[in-house]
């Protein structure tokens, strides 16, 4: 793909593969690895990441919405595919035709499904303490199991839950969820093909949560689920995304020159100010004003307010137009991690790659 603005996100597909291979080595037993590629693979590009993940040994893909699943099928992805979020009953027949598995957590949904022309595979979602989607009582679960048994066009392929605190040091709520999940599993006369509970955090540090499969989400992309998990990782994660641009303009301005909207920054002395063609419409949010970037292997600050399409940085010396700049990733011996942005924005690492929007081209490194 041709693009004319020098701002792009580089996606290292080998990093995706290495994170899966390292997880397999860590688990050290046959297990379903479910690569979570929702939200356009956390901003990395669902089609390319899906292919890389399956090449590396993932056995299933998971998305959040029916539309995400349909897009993968239209792009030629034929791998086992699960929609983890809510799907309307009207999607059931399409899902069956396209061999897309859906998540079920409600009797009413089951009762609204007409006879299907193709077999529909489903996974039951159990709410053990997330308080989001899921079957929350044993009676409710038993009723749904009975409804499934009455259908020969619906197959129960899996059952799962989602831990809300697996990435925290305090294990009390996690243990409560695990206990409730095991109690739910006792209600199945025939265990579904795949039982999965572990998200990235649990897959990395909670071996008792592995069951038949793990859902590898944030750490598929080389990011740790939390600061706590970062300190006890069983292997190094390799970040897949880096963010790049280059100097579009540079000038030396005198002391007390106002820079950008609101004149919130004024030069303290004669300073070299360079303009970069990236702004908050690309995902470099205004809250990142003051954040450092890398140029010539050195850290330099963003000064003034970040604009919609541009931002300014302060340099110690003149550099040529076109000088390479790294906003996320490595340049020389310096590196700027996603977690650094997350801390600056008072958010979590999950959000950072997702806010780098589609206006920023993805360039894939095989």
* Spatial separation of the C-alpha atoms in residues 129 and 43, rounded to whole Å: 28
Under 8 Å CB-to-CB from 294, ≥6 apart: which residues? 300, 325, 326, 327, 330, 331, 332, 334, 336
Angle CA 103–108–114, to nearest 5:
80
* Spatial separation of the C-alpha atoms in residues 364 and 366, rounded to whole Å: 6
Beta-bridged to residue 156, according to DSSP, are: 122
By the 8 A CB rule, do 157 and 101 touch?
yes
By the 8 A CB rule, do 268 and 301 touch?
no
Closest CA to 157 of 190, 129, 121: 121
Which are the catalytic amino acids?
38, 261
3 state DSSP class of 170: coil
């Amino acid at each position: 793909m041709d693009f004319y603005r020098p701002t792009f996100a580089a996606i290292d597909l080998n990093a995706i593969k290495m994170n899966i291979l390292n997880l397999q080595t860590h688990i050290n037993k046959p297990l379903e690895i479910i690569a979570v590629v929702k939200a356009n693979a956390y901003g990395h590009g669902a089609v390319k990441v899906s292919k890389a993940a399956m090449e590396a040994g993932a056995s299933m893909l998971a998305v959040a919405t029916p539309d995400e699943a349909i897009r993968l099928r239209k792009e030629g992805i034929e791998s086992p595919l699960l929609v983890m979020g809510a799907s309307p009953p009207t999607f059931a027949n399409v899902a069956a035709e396209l061999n897309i598995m859906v998540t079920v957590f409600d009797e009413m949904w089951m009762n609204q499904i007409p006879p299907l022309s193709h077999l529909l595979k489903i996974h039951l979602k159990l709410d053990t303490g997330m308080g989001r989607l899921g079957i929350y009582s044993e009676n409710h679960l038993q009723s749904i199991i009975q409804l499934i048994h009455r259908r020969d066009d619906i197959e129960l392929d899996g059952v799962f839950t989602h831990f809300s605190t697996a990435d925290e040091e305090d294990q009390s709520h996690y243990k409560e969820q695990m206990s409730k999940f095991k109690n739910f599993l006792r209600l199945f006369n025939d265990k579904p093909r795949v039982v999965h509970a572990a998200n990235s955090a649990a897959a990395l540090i909670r071996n008792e949560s592995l069951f038949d499969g793990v859902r590898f989400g944030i750490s598929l992309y080389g990011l740790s689920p939390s600061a706590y998990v970062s300190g006890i990782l069983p292997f190094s994660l390799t970040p897949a995304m880096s963010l790049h641009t280059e100097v579009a303009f540079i000038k030396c301005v005198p002391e007390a020159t106002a820079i950008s909207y609101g004149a919130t920054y004024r030069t303290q002395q004669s300073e070299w100010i360079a303009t970069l063609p990236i702004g908050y419409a690309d995902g470099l949010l205004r809250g990142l004003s003051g954040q450092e970037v890398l140029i010539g292997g050195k850290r330099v600050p963003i000064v003034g307010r970040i604009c919609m399409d541009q931002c300014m940085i302060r340099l110690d010396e003149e550099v040529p137009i076109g000088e390479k700049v790294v906003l996320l990733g490595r340049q020389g011996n310096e590196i700027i991690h996603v977690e650094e942005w997350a801390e600056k924005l008072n958010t979590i690492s999950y959000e950072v790659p997702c806010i780098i929007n589609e206006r920023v081209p993805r360039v894939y490194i095989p």
